[in-house]
Amino acid sequence: MNKKGVLCVIITILCSLRAFQLYWSSTRELRSTDGHSWLKKKTALTEPIPNKLKNDSIVLGAETNNIFYFLHATDLHLSRFRPKGHTHHFLHFIQSIIPVVKPQFVVVTGDLTDAKDKKKVTSQQYVDEWEVYQKAIEEKVDVDWYDMRGNHDCFDLPSWQSRVNYYRTHGKSAGLVEQGKGVYSWQVNQPMGEYQFVAIDACPKRGPSRPLNFFGYLTSKTMDQLERALTYKPFNHTFVFSHYPTSTMVFGVSNKGRTFRDLASHYSIYFCGHLHKLIAGLGDVLKSYDPVTKSLELELGDMKEHGLYRVVAVDHDLISFVDIQLPLKQISKKGPVNSLGLVHPIHPENSTVVWPAIIHPPPSILITNPKDARYSIPSKEPLWRIRQSTHIRFLVFSEHSAEHLAVKISIDGKLHPDQATFVGDTKNPLWAAPWDPSLYEDRNPHKLSIKVTAADGKVGTSHIVFRVDTNRIKIKGGSGEFIIKSKMSTVLICISLFTISSMLCLLLIPKFYAPQSENDIKSKARLNRLLLRIHSIDQVTVKSRYLRLQKQILIWSLRFLQLPQDQTIVWHITFIYILALLTLPWFRADFIPSGETSAERFGVFYMWGMVFGNEWVPIADTWLFATEQIVFDIFVFFFLVVWRGTDASDLTCRGVMQHDIKGTINTPNKLFRRQLNEMAWFKGLEIVYWLWRSSELVALSSFYGGIWPTLVQNILVYWMVFVGCVLGWGKNGVFTKKKPRNRYISVVEGCISCQQQQQEVYENKITEISLIHDEKKAEQHTQYNSSTSITATTLTQEEEQQKVGFISLSGSSSSCNSSTPFDGSPYIKSRKRHALKL
């Protein structure tokens, strides 16, 4: 029995228990306070409004009743340092867009301010950014305004009560957030419907500076609030607003044991921001439909750079929206800066906002009937009303009055015969054109385009795809749809834990099979058998892909098997380090520099979350960081070090290579190709990679309070130092002196091919007879391979060598009597011989 191996397994199990305990305490706030609610059967929620009567008498005609709309904007990132976009876009939005659109209300889903420093490295709350936000709304906005915080609004924020929580003093809905403990709601009541709007502040209760502040979470208590807001009463539609897409949130469980998905069936649409438009077109359509909860999630791109805003309309319970961009061409690239080079558009004397010049957006169009079938919610919207309708209905937002607008409608590319007329009023710029939906009842999608030309020549267009048969059309959002549907924190947790457990297996399993000592004949035999199989694959001249793969698997098994014995220190330190990652804090850092006490400022980083004082913050950013570390700093280096455990001369079969170059005399060092990682350029790359990874740690210290404590109280740093040493001076290291290879030949005992080659080299050198390789030779090989008298042959050869006295054997020299048949195949003691000195 392998006592050390068993001990290691026991230690691993104990550490896993400790890890579970950490997980359990870190997520306590997310679990129901009602202890065993996960055991209880959930009491059924009152069903959301059932599918409305299909034989309803409501006909969408040319009337303006039962329609309203609102504006959604997000990620303003008001910034004192950046004159392009940011504050500038926001002021234009307030000054030139809101008065034209005249929405019922405006919702801004977070990242109201940028809070990044000039170099975009650290972050802190700047009161002048908030001042501009507050003043601009006070001065010009005369509609209801609802807002909430985004991650940027809680960068470097010790708590809600903190002095630097400027949202509390400058945000418009701070009172509501505070009162509702993170969730607040408002209603719109129409003659024929009631609509509920719910805003969620999902910021971490303690907000670290950037960059480890990207995910939001809802504690069990906030989930209770949300549950109440979503279920206390049925509404025609409920809309939820949050800064974070659900993919970047961690949801607790409400006291009654309800998960977020349970609640999601109670709203129609979840509006959010935060991802901006990602990069490289990945996030062009960050929108998705969940067929289980029957709800949509619609991310909106940022105002800061892309100048995007969204108009959402509810027309007889059909919801439609359009994302519109500020006319960026009319906006100067840079807004004004003051004498200090800062963006602070406030008059110094009377402290009013310095507004930019008015811009003139082209007409924008929102088609409300028929609605875009990609965003249909079949069980929550009365989609049959499209089929019953008598008019195409759409809203046109323009500075110009209706008589100065020319409207052109086309369906499937054909001009619509009926003229659209303005049927709206000052509150609803509604247009309608008669149509006959039965013409499109062929169970196919159709394309509707509307073009509006204003008196000043500016043109707005809108295209949608619709169906009249109440079916949905796939969003086809590509990567964006996939991202918005995924659950990022779960993915990260899975990657981290999977990588950790695979590495533990790769360390522990070989511990049981690797040779324990020089005398561990049985395990050594195992290694030798692996080598023999590698050599026998080598001897196949034309290797299939499967054989090549098999050879790689065998080679890697060999490398892992010999690790515990061959590089004992590496094995032990890696093992200890991985367990430490699971159970110990990784580092301590000044996460919240604006905190007043050291418990507020300094946090301890665990994979499972951050701890401030005695309080866990279950922010999922720790998993993002952990995944990066585990994959790039541990797995990659572990792999590189194990790879170095063998070199090509250990693995290549002597005899075979010779046949590749016919008729030439080969000296042994020409006979094998070096492994990729033995090449100088590859070693160079390894160093560059190491430097890059180390620089990431240095960057960490620049975010969180410098060398002390971030780099000194940091186990990651010690690991990098260790890895650096191993790569430099460990086995086959960059700076290790290489044994002169041509002086050595590795011969695997039992491999007839190797033995033969050894013999030939020996003869070659001793008797100076050139070797000639011809077809006969090959035949001879195959004969030898199938021969049963291999042991005898080898022994004779060896005896001869010993007689001549040119061979010196490493380890014990009792080669003759140690030869035992293994698995029926002949073999000799498991020892590579590096020792024939010529």
How many angstroms separate the CA atoms of 767 and 360, rounded? 97
Give me 686's structure tokens: 């390894």
Q: Minimum distance between the CB of residue 66 and ligand NAG, rounded to whole angstroms?
A: 5
User: Which one of 29, 30, 60, 75 is in contact with Zn ion (CB under 5 A)?
Assistant: 75
Nearer to Zn ion, 154 or 525 (CB): 154
CB nearer Zn ion, residue 225 or residue 242: 242
Q: Which does 192 bind (CB under 5 to 8 A by kind): Zn ion, ligand NAG, none?
A: ligand NAG
CB of 234 to ligand NAG, least distance (A): 7
74 vs 658, beta carbon nearer Zn ion = 74
Name every residue whose Cβ is closer than 8 Å to that of residue 312 and which is 6 or more positions away in sequence.
Answer: 69, 70, 71, 72, 239, 269, 271, 319, 320, 321
Contact 386, 318 (CB under 8 A): yes
327 interface partner picked from Zn ion, ligand NAG, none, CB below 5 to 8 A per type: none
What is the binding site for ligand NAG (CB under 6 A)? 49, 52, 66, 192-193, 236, 316-317, 382
Buried residues in 41-77 as b, exposed as e (16+ CB within 10 A): eeeeeeebeeeeeeeeebebbbebebbbbbbbbbbbb
Per-residue x/- marks for Zn ion, 237-256, CB under 5 A? --------------------
User: Which of Zn ion, ligand NAG, none binds 439 (CB below 5-8 Å, type-dependent)?
Assistant: none
* Separation between Cα atoms, residue 735 and residue 746, nearest integer Å: 23
Tokens of 710: 């971030």
Structure token pair of residue 799: 């005896």
Applying CB under 5 A, does 511 fall inside the site for Zn ion?
A: no
Residue 66 interacting entry, from ligand NAG, Zn ion, none, C-beta within 5 to 8 Å by type: ligand NAG
**Which partner in Zn ion, ligand NAG, none is near 479 (CB below 5 to 8 A by kind)?**
none
Looking at the Cβ atoms of 66 and 255, the one nearer to ligand NAG is 66
Complex with ligand NAG: residue 428 or 462, whichever CB lies closer: 428
**Nearest distance in Å: CB 394, Zn ion:** 31
Q: Write the interaction track for Zn ion spanning residues 262-281; mark x where CB under 5 A is met and - where it is not.
A: ------------x-------
- 314 or 610: whose CB is closer to ligand NAG? 314
Name the minimum Å distance from CB 624 to ligand NAG. Answer: 43
Tokens of 305: 């750079």
Nearer to ligand NAG, 67 or 619 (CB): 67
Cβ-based nearer residue to Zn ion, 211 or 445: 211
Strands (E), 77-225: 105-109, 144-148, 183-190, 193-200, 216-218
Binding site partner of 274, from ligand NAG, Zn ion, none, Cβ cut-off 5-8 A by kind: Zn ion
Determine if 150 is a binding residue for Zn ion (CB under 5 A). yes
Closest distance between Zn ion and the C-beta of residue 81, in Å?
15
Nearest to 831 by CA among 746, 759, 720: 746
Residue 39: how many other CB atoms lie within 10 Å: 7
In whole angstroms, the minimum distance from the beta carbon of 262 to ligand NAG comes to: 22
Can you tell me the distance from the alpha carbon of 671 to that of 745, in angstroms, rounded to the nearest whole number? 10
Largest pairwise CA distance in the chain? 113
CB of 381 to ligand NAG, least distance (A): 9
170 or 277: CB nearest Zn ion? 277
Residue nearer to ligand NAG on the CB measure, 52 or 256: 52
Q: Name residues whose C-beta falls within 8 Å of residue 805's C-beta, 6 or more positions apart in sequence.
A: none
| Rounded CA separation 663/462 (Å) | 76
Question: 811: alpha, beta or left, given left = phi > 0 and alpha = psi -120 to 50?
Answer: left
Q: Please, what is the minimum distance in Å from the beta carbon of residue 276 to Zn ion?
A: 6
Report the distance separating Cα 247 and Cα 700, nearest Å. Answer: 25
Strand partners of residue 406: 453
Partner whose binding site includes residue 150, from Zn ion, ligand NAG, none (CB under 5 to 8 Å by kind): Zn ion
Query: Which secondary structure element, helix H or strand E, spans residue 324, and what is its range?
Result: strand 318-325
Copy the structure tokens of residue 590: 């000044």
193 binds, among Zn ion, ligand NAG, none (CB under 5 to 8 A by kind): ligand NAG
Peptide bond into 709 cis (omega under 30): yes
Q: Which of 111, 114, 227, 481 binds Zn ion (CB under 5 A)?
A: 111
Could you give the CA distance from residue 594 to residue 653 in angstroms, rounded to a whole number? 65
Residue 590: contacted member of Zn ion, ligand NAG, none (CB under 5 to 8 Å, by partner type): none
Identity at 685, one-letter amino acid code: L
Q: Are strands 430-434 and 421-422 parallel, antiparallel or unpaired?
A: antiparallel
Residue range at the interface with Zn ion (CB under 5 A); choices 71-79, 253-261, 376-384, 723-731:
71-79
**Of 21 and 51, which has the nearer Cβ to ligand NAG?**
51
Q: Which long-range contacts (CB under 8 A, 24 or more apart) does 697-706 make?
A: 700/587, 700/589, 701/589, 702/121, 702/122, 703/121, 703/122, 703/209, 703/210, 703/211, 703/212, 704/208, 704/209, 704/589, 704/590, 704/591, 705/589, 705/590, 705/593, 706/590
Helix 488-513 with 636-643: angle, nearest 10 deg: 30
299 binds Zn ion (CB under 5 A): no
Site for Zn ion in 210-229 (CB under 5 A): none
CB under 5 to 8 A by kind: which of Zn ion, ligand NAG, none does 49 bind?
Answer: ligand NAG
Residue 597 Cβ vs ligand NAG, minimum distance, rounded to whole Å = 52
- Does residue 151 belong to the site contacting Zn ion (CB under 5 A)? yes
User: Could you tell which of Zn ion, ligand NAG, none binds residue 111, using a CB distance below 5 to 8 A set by kind?
Assistant: Zn ion
Least separation, in Å, of the C-beta of 275 and Zn ion?
8
Number of residues that bind Zn ion (CB under 5 A): 5
Find out whether 248 and 207 touch, Cβ atoms under 8 Å: no
Of 287 and 385, the one with the shorter C-beta distance to ligand NAG is: 385
Integer-rounded Cα Rg, in Å, for the chain is 36
Question: 52 or 659: whose CB is closer to ligand NAG?
Answer: 52
Sort strands 747-748 and 832-833 into parallel, antiparallel or unpaired.
Answer: antiparallel
Sign of CA dihedral 275, 277, 278, 283: positive
Q: How far is the CB of 573 from Zn ion (least distance, A)?
A: 39
Q: Distance between CA atoms of 493 and 490, rounded to whole angstroms?
A: 5
- For residue 170, the minimal CB distance to ligand NAG (Å) is 37
Nearer CB in complex with Zn ion: 111/131: 111
Question: Which positions touch Zn ion (CB under 5 A)?
Answer: 75, 111, 150-151, 274
